Amino acid sequence: MSSNIVAVGLSNNLAVDVIIIMFIYIEKVLTKHATFVRERKMKNKLVVAAVGVIVVAASLVLEGCECRTVQFIFGDSLSDVGNNKYLSKSLAQASLPWYGIDFGNGLPNGRFSNGRTVADIIGDQMGLPRPPPFLDPSLTEDDILHNGLNYASGGGGILNDTGTYFIQRFSLYKQIELFEGTQELIREKIGKEEADKFFKEARYVVALGSNDFINNYLMPVYRDSWTYNDDTFIQYLIQTLRAQLTALHALGARQLMVFGLGPMGCIPLQRVLSSSASGGCQHRTNTLALSFNKAAAKLMDDLGKQLANSSFRFGDAYDVVSDVISNPNKYGFENSDSPCCSFGRIRPALTCLPASRLCKDRSKYVFWDEYHPTDSANQLIANELINNFNKDD
């Protein structure tokens, strides 16, 4: 709701009524007073007052914005809610059964899981609306003002080169560019002042980085794999992320959360590709995730101190996810090393397909497919992040 409306306490119709009453009042006062001097003085004062009411009423009609606090989400397939299904050439898709089987009507909706994402769950618990995918062609400016937007794209990363073999995906740089376009639309809709306020009061989530390792640095076909070593690649990622988060702050992001990486060396795909005979977690990949999280946490702390009026937070659920994978029964799970949706012994099946076999109880599996957690695992991860954020408060 517009700050003008809140301050004056009038509806648009009531504002018009006030204008009419004010002019009637002017007429009565002017006829009541006899002397020319007093009449002129009173007339001047009341005309000024009436003009003031007209200006306020006009501002209610023309500059009003019934806005509320919303989220803008940037990320990869762990947060994508449907952008990639509009990218017709993208190989990173969640548009076939059985994706979305435990969400809404049970049909694929673009989420790379059987249910909700971590960002979905955290937003729900914060009382925030779920932002729709940026590429949804039915969206209007009013939808953005009421629900925010999600720019996350499966296969995307911090770096532009990440995930190129998926053909189409949005890197974080591209997502920020799209956000700039959104800002232009909203400024045209409600004016610069109201738009600036709207974007500064919004909540921001940045959740990506695993593809920069799994679908870039750790693949020999990518230049980064021989250009950098482990330490220098993480430095490169953090320097890039610093520039991106600083750009978001310049665009109005004041309350921003960055989600850290989980033990990505333990996802089913990495286990299958492991040189270990037992199919265990890939130690080097997990070490990279821990090193990235440590550097990203420091980055967020530094930016929170350096950037004006900012609340930048880092969410780290690595330890609890690692414990879930090592001790699934402790958390109510029965399987933490293979996907619920798969082709059985034919591994890896890089995506969940209609011909895939589903596990009997999806709530007992940590992983939905070769890459992504189930709804139940996402709930646990979200709870851990929320608890950590509350401790910081």
Check 77, 90, 153, 310 and give the catalytic one: 77
For residue 99, give Cα distances in angstroms to 159, 268, 368, 369. 27, 17, 9, 9
Query: For this structure, is 369 an active site residue?
Result: yes
Q: 319 vs 149, 286, 332, CA distance in Å?
A: 30, 11, 17
Instruction: Output the CA angle 315-319-320, nearest 5 degrees.
Output: 90
Selecting among 153, 372, 375, 376, the annotated active-site residue is 372
84: DSSP letter: G
Among 161, 293, 165, 173, residue whose Cα is nearest residue 227: 161
- Tell me, yes or no, if 372 is annotated catalytic: yes
Q: Which one, of 41, 82, 58, lies nearest residue 5 by Cα?
A: 58
What's the CA angle centered on 111, arms 327 and 260, to 5 degrees?
Answer: 50
Which residues does 204 contact at the CB level (< 8 Å), separation at least 6? 71, 72, 73, 74, 248, 253, 255, 256, 257
Q: Quote the Cα angle for 197-198-199, to 5°.
A: 95
SS3 assignment, position 206: strand
Q: What are the phi and psi torsion angles at 332 (to 5°)?
A: 90, 10
Judge whether 77 counts as a catalytic residue: yes
Distance between CA 349 and CA 337 in Å, rounded? 14
Of 212, 316, 369, 375, the catalytic one is 369
Q: Which residues participate in catalysis according to the annotation?
A: 77, 369, 372
